[in-house]
Amino acid sequence: MSVFTGAGVAIITPFKSNGEVDYDAFEGIIEDQIARKTDAIVVCGTTGEASTLSHEEHIDVVRYCAQVVKGRVPVVAGTGSNSTETAIYLSQEAEKAGVDGVLLVSPYYNKATQNGLYQHFKATADSIKIPVILYNIQGRTGVNIQPATIVKLVKDVENIVAVKEASGNISQIAQILALADGNIDLYSGNDDQIVPILSLGGKGVISVLSNVMPEYTHDICETFFNGDVKKSAKMQLDALPLINALFSEVNPIPVKEAMFLKGLCGPDLRLPLTRMEPAHAEVLKAEMEKMGVI
């Protein structure tokens, strides 16, 4: 039940200056991604500012994305919540919208136990039939999904098939893959670790960088899978200054600025996120110029 292989974009949600979702800009961004070889579109995740979308907006954005894509690439909807009931509701609505899978972040703020995490993910996955990708990002949620918990979920729940690992802990990632023994798809959640994770058996990346350089990020993965590890590693290293600039402030502040610099949308975010500091924006612009993005 693999959802995709390669580089899936953690796509932004563009807003108008009045705070409404800019669907015209969103359509253009989706079409640009598909034209530039993105392998999947992950909508309403962290980068898509899902935390400041109402439930109605969240579902509308997911539905609109699926309608525009029309099956040309897989669409994965972020439907996680710190409320299991809400995660189930959003996941069921995403399934109705025709997405190819859902991305479930671990419950944030509650700081659930490993048993609580297991029960949360199992209940949510059992409520739908489409594939589920777990999302482990302790820096935002306050909890780490332990390797044993991830592997137990994959073995016990048929449609939990993958994990997006953004812990940054390569040892933990290796442990997940060792325990799973080939029964899990693992995606890097960090753009600076694509090649290291591919080398351990990863399936690809769910990427912020792909918003700005979709074809390049796709090519890092494709080049690796085609056996030219040295070239893939060089591409990874060459992109590091831009990746660092994209994370010089909390995501998605810098990538929203980058997409504005590319002329694909306005720079607007929803509070409590604010526009990038001018000094950081200058560095970002310079790195984009170096990589030929603008």
Residues with active-site annotation: 135, 164
| 3-state helix/strand/coil string of 84-143 | HHHHHHHHHHHHHHCCCEEEEECCCCCCCCHHHHHHHHHHHHHCCCCCEEEEECHHHHCC
Q: Can you tell me whether residue 74 is helix, strand or coil?
A: coil
DSSP state, 71? T
Query: Which residue type occupies 25?
Result: A
Q: How many other C-beta atoms lie within 10 A of the C-beta of residue 263?
A: 8
Between strands 101-105 and 75-78, the pairing is parallel
Contact 136, 188 (CB under 8 A): no
Q: Can you tell me whether residue 44 is helix, strand or coil?
A: coil
